[in-house]
Chain A
Amino acid sequence: MKILVCITNVPDTTAKISFTDNNTKLNKAGVQYIIGPYDDYALARAVELKEQQGGTITVLNVGEAESDPQIRKALAIGADDAVRVNAEPTDSYFTATQIAAIAKEGGYDLILMGRESIDFNSGVVHGLVGEMLGIPSFSPVMKLDIEGTTAKFAREIEGGKEFLEAPLPLVLGCQEPIAEWKIPNMRGIMTARTKPLKVVEPVAVDDLATLDQYTLPAPKGACKMIPADQAETLISLLKTEAKVL
């Protein structure tokens, strides 16, 4: 089985976000980067499927050279090779077009992604890629097994889950508890250094959406503390002052 795992290179979940260049660039000073947490679940499940059934895992990132440490980490966790499309991913349609181009060439049985990226939070790249390739896509997937050429999986729906079966190839957006995040071991880290990482240039895409500028939310006012022995007054404050009851 050939598996493609698409990973994002994103600021750590605890990162403070600020901007530079007239609010048109993320201020990267002091920001730690990680593999997107949902992408990490996708990768972990891919490694488990490979352990069970054999096959290969390719990781793919649309991003600039600063993604390479995260790509190497994915290789250390268990991917066999990697492709980076050398471009700043600014728009979902652009990113999806790049992924679809690589996927078409590779003929993958399974394309695993995260349910959403934690920078753009769009939750749309899997659907775009699925449609561009003319294959089904599902998200968010919380359980996945492969039997022959059939995927048996569970998808989170509002208030519960739905169980499905569909023929490969498929695009799936993953979330926990599909697998536990994996930490690279020493051997993985050593072998990752020599695994192939191919850098390719992007294919041309019409400009469908362009960033104008970034803004930060207005700072939160001070928290009004209510003494515990007067907790009941909270209810009247929510009614009369905050007007949310």
Chain B
Amino acid sequence: MVLIFVELDNGSIKKTSLEAVAYGAAVAKATGTTATALAIGTADAAELAKAGTYGATKVLHANAAELANENAMAYASVLAAAVKNENAEVVVLPKSGLCDAMGARAAAKLGASIVSGVTELPDVSNGIKVTRSIYTGKAFATVDVKGAVKILGIKKNAIEAVEGTGNASVETFTPALNNGDFVAKVTGQEKATGELSLTEADIIVSGGRGMKGPDNWQPLLDLASALGAATGCSKPVSDLDWRPHHEHIGQTGIKVAPNLYIACGISGAIQHLAGVNSSKVIVAINKDPEAPFFKAADYGIVGDVFDILPRLTKAVKEAK
């Protein structure tokens, strides 16, 4: 049995989680078993049944009031209980802070193997072998996963998720909760609302020090909005507080894997590239023809961002 954890965002299953379902369903098919999804938090049955269209045959829904906050420790306990209940041999989690944390704690509870950063479907010809990203995208490792329970954290785009016509039954899941998982008190939250998440986004427009200052971001935001893209930045830009910290992309920031990454006035230092090298297509716009980003890009424009960006925005709008 393959168990997939699906992350909810305001009652909807995240796109990366639907990919995880497709991944888990493909593993189940290859190993002659079925796939069950586990969702924690509030969502309606119709939304949860979506997991069926990506190949799950059952959805377990844990929705105790105590689980309303994303609490990795409590979620790990629910996940471990589901693994035992369903006799899961393979557990699939999308890559996120929450999933890494809950996967790790569940692995320790279960004595399970845990491998994260998995980039493609496993080789199941002799046990389970997975390929994972290491050295921040500079290399891959193929790993023989040996535990009785195998927890796999998968990266975005590890599989092309295609919606099908399958059906999943939704069952309420009510494992016992541990008080020990609730010792931390959440005392506040600061969250940008209505922003596209960088890890979910298909397109990212990102700016570096070449944008010259916090007040110059409008042309970049305009292009992002025309493309339906999320926005990111280089480390110095967030260090200088030109943009919020959660937009910082790279080796010491968020690692992203969009279909399209547009870098505006970013030099392309190796530490920045480390966070974007899983992107499918990279565009670099830089006034310096020698900027290292051009070596990592698929398309390049040598020019001034303040001239190029508005013209690209106009072209996007006209092409619609």
A interface residues (Cβ-Cβ under 8 A, vs B): 11, 13-14, 16-17, 19, 37-38, 91-93, 96, 118-128, 130-132, 134, 136-140, 142, 152, 156-167, 175-177, 206-217, 220-221, 223-228, 231-232, 234-239, 242, 244-245
CB-CB < 8 A to B260: which residues of A? Answer: 238, 242, 244-245
Q: Which of A122, A156, A215 contacts B142 (CB 8 A)?
A: A215
A221-B101 contact given A165-B184, A231-B308, A245-B227, CB 8 Å threshold: no
Q: Which residues of B contact A210 (CB under 8 A)?
A: 143-144, 146
Q: B-side interface residues toward A, CB under 8 Å?
A: 70, 72-73, 76, 96-97, 100-105, 107-109, 111-117, 129, 131, 133-147, 153, 180, 183-193, 195, 197, 199, 202-203, 227, 244-246, 251-252, 255, 259-260, 270-271, 274, 277, 280-281, 283-284, 294-304, 307-308, 311-312, 314-316, 319
A164 near B184 with CB under 8 A, answer: yes
A156 x B146 contact (CB < 8 A): no
**Is there an interface contact between A244 and B259, defined as CB atoms closer than 8 Å?**
yes
Asked if B280 and A244 sit within 8 Å, CB to CB, the answer is yes
Q: How far is the CB of A37 from chain B (nearest CB, A)?
A: 5
Q: Are A177 and B312 in contact (CB under 8 A)?
A: no
| Contact between chains at A231 and B312 (CB < 8 Å) | yes
| B135–A124 touching, CB < 8 Å | no
Q: Can you report 19 residue pairs joining A to B where beta carbons are below 8 Å apart?
A: A13-B274, A93-B107, A93-B108, A93-B114, A118-B135, A121-B255, A124-B153, A127-B103, A128-B114, A131-B104, A131-B107, A137-B72, A137-B101, A137-B105, A138-B184, A156-B246, A159-B191, A160-B189, A225-B299
CA distance A161 to B301 in the complex (A): 35
Bound-state Cα–Cα, A120 to B260, Å = 25
Closest 5 CB pairs between A and B? A127-B104, A228-B303, A131-B108, A160-B191, A124-B104
Report B223 CB to chain A, min CB distance, Å.
10
Partner of B141, one of A211, A232, A244: A211
Known A-B contacts A14-B271, A223-B284; A124 and B297 likewise in contact (beta carbons under 8 Å): no
| A128→B251 contact, CB < 8 A | no
Q: Is the CB of B301 within 8 A of A127?
A: no
Contact B144 A162, beta carbon cutoff 8 Å: no
Residues of B within 8 A of A162 (CB): 186, 188-189
Residue of A nearest to B248 (CB): A176
Given known pairs A19-B139, A139-B101, the reply for A224 and B299 (CB within 8 Å) is yes
Q: Say yes or no: A224-B100 contact (C-beta < 8 A), given A17-B135, A210-B146.
A: no
**Closest chain A CB from B127 CB (angstroms):** 10
Given A38-B252, A207-B146, A223-B297, are A17 and B138 also a contact pair (CB < 8 Å)?
Answer: yes
Contact A244 B108 (CB under 8 A): no
Check A160/B143 contact, CB under 8 A, given A131-B104, A131-B109.
no
Q: Which of B139, B312, B316 has the most CB of A within 10 A?
A: B139
Q: CA–CA, A234 to B260, complex, Å?
A: 12
Q: Quick check: B101 and A127 within 8 Å, CB to CB?
A: yes
Give chain B residues whose Cβ lies under 8 Å from the Cβ of A130: 73, 104-105, 108
Measured between C-beta atoms, what is the minimum distance from B289 to chain A in Å?
A: 9
Which residues from chain B contact A232 at a C-beta distance below 8 Å?
311-312, 314-315
When the two chains form the complex, which single residue of B96, B183, B244 contacts A158, counting CB atoms closer than 8 Å? B96
A238:B281 contact, CB within 8 angstroms: yes
Partner among B72, B183, B299 whose Cβ is within 8 Å of the Cβ of A238: B299
Minimum CB–CB distance from B257 to chain A (whole Å) comes to 13
A142 & B299 in contact (Cβ 8 Å cutoff): no
Does the CB pair A127–B191 fall under 8 Å?
no
Please give, as numbers and ranges, the residues of chain A lying within 8 Å of B284 by CB-CB distance: 223
A14–B272 alpha-carbon span in the complex (Å): 10
Residue of B104, B134, B191 near A121 (CB, 8 A) is B134
A232→B199 CA distance, assembly (Å) = 27
Of B101, B113, B186, B301, the residue contacting A164 (CB under 8 A) is: B186
Is B192 within 8 A of A226, CB to CB?
A: no
Are B101 and A118 touching (Cβ within 8 A)? Answer: no
Asked whether, in the complex, the Cβ of A125 is within 8 Å of the Cβ of B311, the reply is: no
A14-B271, A131-B104, A244-B260 are known contacts. Are A217 and B245 too (CB-CB below 8 A)? Answer: no
